[in-house]
Structure 1
Amino acid sequence: MDTPHNFDFLRTGTDKKLIQQLTEYGQNLSTVGVNEIAIANVITLVITELQQKPVPGLYGLRIV
């Protein structure tokens, strides 16, 4: 039986998009300085991206 891997959801490309956006935000924060609004924007971005990702199943996970 062919079981899907736990990390198949990472192949959608959203992981690369999220990493790219976080890198850009990090570079912008380092040049202009950190403030509360910038931190809140990064947190909002991460939460939004995570809500859009499909949740991987617990395929092959053995709970002992």
Structure 2
Amino acid sequence: MQLREYRPADCQRLEMLFLAADERGVGLGRQMLECAVRHYGVRKLTVNAQTVGFYEHTDLSA
């Protein structure tokens, strides 16, 4: 897994979170999201049609 940091002007909004197909379904996305919340103050998400299911299970607002 490779992490890259991107800091938009609105640092409370997460705009992109990508995992390779073979890394999905084992909790890595949730771990990355929790890290973004805990360490970077993320409180909002930008969601697209492909990721709605994943983000519906979070406490963040879209």
* TM-score normalized by the length of structure 2: 0.30
**Bigger share in strand:** 2
Report which structure shows greater RCO (CA 8 Å, sep ≥6).
1
**Bigger share in helix:** 1
* TM-score normalized by the length of structure 1: 0.29
Between structure 1 and structure 2, the one with the greater Rg is: 1
